[in-house]
Structure 1
Amino acid sequence: MATTYCDVVARMEPGNVHTHYHNHEYGFPIHDDDQLFGRLVLEINQAGLSWTTILIKKDNFFKAYDGFNIRKVSQYGDEKIAALLNDAGIIRNRLKILAAIENARRIIDLQQEFGSFKNWLDHHHPMSKEQWVKLFKKHFKFTGGEIVNEFLMSTGYLPGAHHPGCPIYKKVLATKPAWNHLQ
């Protein structure tokens, strides 16, 4: 049997950055567009790095990206990009920073069409991982298979965040809409 995130967290010391994320965030549905956008930004920034690095820098990302306010991020210009590239508290990767800005702009377009980013996600749910990846690549920058998979698992749209024996599994399941229990 493959090792899951649940198994890894169970072996960690209490208070580890992964423990809070696993027990209170991972796999739980997110209803707020700015929070969904924030999770997407974090998943994009994790590419090529460890999730530990992202969790340690999570609060810094929140501050640097104006609380992941989609409207504010969509308006970032050269001055803000330069500030982000010089912010040691986040991942200073130009492609990832530019992807966050462009993705914020694209989410605004989806909000105009669907009412919210969450409504757009719900409109397409359920789909297979492969279908989601194709859809995300059509609409967003810097969204490959692993990024899309982790974003959707971490926000409750794809199964697999917790195994059924994990004590958090039932808590996550109880927070999902009835249509999501079919996964």
Structure 2
Amino acid sequence: MSYCLSINGMQPESRRELHKRYHDNHYGFPIHDDNELFGRLIMEINQAGLSWETILKKEESFRKAYNNFEIEKVANYTETDRERLLNDPGIIRNKLKVNAAIENAKTIIGLQKEFGSFEKWLEGHHPKTLQEWMKLFKKTFKFTGGEIVNEFLMSIGYLKGSHSESCPVYHQVLKHSPKWLTE
């Protein structure tokens, strides 16, 4: 079932609005800012084993806890920062996920130095099948299983499937996507 159809189910208004806001304004749209790409990766990693709704409700807390997803700051987190995160009730307090965020920030800094940006690293590997992306992410990043990689790449427009063709947002995503992403 496409995400487009699933947000229209029988949900209380506040839940439906939360999902609709993400669906209509973020899901599948390209992200060109490395910090925001990193933030989306953190969010997808933290969603593992939980509902996306839980993560959406905690997004502002994640932004605050992880310095608005500033890669440089997160890469330089100390043991004190790690402990702060593990004690923050506003985020997911999972040691593997917290460690992955910090280590992945360090990895992205290396990719930025080598490729110019995290976005250029992603672009340089396009096109790939999901299986190829999964191998690349597993080799490059921490805590990036198949579903995390799939959702991350769909959510930033690198894999098709974020919206069905009958979804009104599908055409908006196409308007914002580079030509090579829509071919």
TM-score by length of structure 1 reads 0.96
2:118 & 2:49 partners in 1: Cα distance? 26
1:172 & 1:124 partners in 2: Cα distance? 21
What SS does the corresponding residue of 2:58 show, helix, strand or coil?
Answer: helix
CA displacement 1:17-53 (0-9 Å, x = unmatched): 1110000000000000000000000000000111010
Residue 10 of structure 1 corresponds to which residue in structure 2?
A: 8
What SS does the corresponding residue of 2:127 show, helix, strand or coil?
Answer: coil
Query: What residue identity is the alignment partner of 1:5?
Result: Y
How much identity, in percent, do the aligned residues show? 58
Query: What residue identity is the alignment partner of 2:6?
Result: V
Residue 159 of structure 2 corresponds to which residue in structure 1?
A: 158
Residue 100 of structure 2 corresponds to which residue in structure 1?
A: 99
Q: Deviation of residue 10 (structure 1)?
A: 2.5
Query: Which runs of no fewer than 5 residues in structure 1 stay unpaired?
Result: none
1:40 & 1:180 partners in 2: Cα distance? 19
2:71 & 2:181 partners in 1: Cα distance? 26
Query: What residue identity is the alignment partner of 1:168?
Result: V
Structure 1 residue 89 corresponds to structure 2 residue 111: no
Query: What residue identity is the alignment partner of 1:60?
Result: S
Residue 123 of structure 1 corresponds to which residue in structure 2?
A: 124
2:178 & 2:2 partners in 1: Cα distance? 24
1:161 & 1:132 partners in 2: Cα distance? 17
Structure 1 residue 57 corresponds to structure 2 residue 55: no
Query: What residue identity is the alignment partner of 1:71?
Result: E
The RMSD of aligned alpha carbons is 1.0
2:95 & 2:181 partners in 1: Cα distance? 36
Query: What residue identity is the alignment partner of 2:35?
Result: D
CA displacement 1:119-161 (0-9 Å, x = unmatched): 0000001100000000000100000000000000000000000
1:95 & 1:179 partners in 2: Cα distance? 35
Query: Which runs of no fewer than 5 residues in structure 2 stay unpaired?
Result: none
Residue 182 of structure 2 corresponds to which residue in structure 1?
A: 181
Residue 22 of structure 1 corresponds to which residue in structure 2?
A: 23
TM-score by length of structure 2 reads 0.96
- Please list, as runs of the form range in 1=range in 2, the aligned pairs for 1:37-76 lying within 5 A after superposition: 37-76=38-77
What SS does the corresponding residue of 1:53 show, helix, strand or coil?
Answer: helix
Residue 142 of structure 1 corresponds to which residue in structure 2?
A: 143
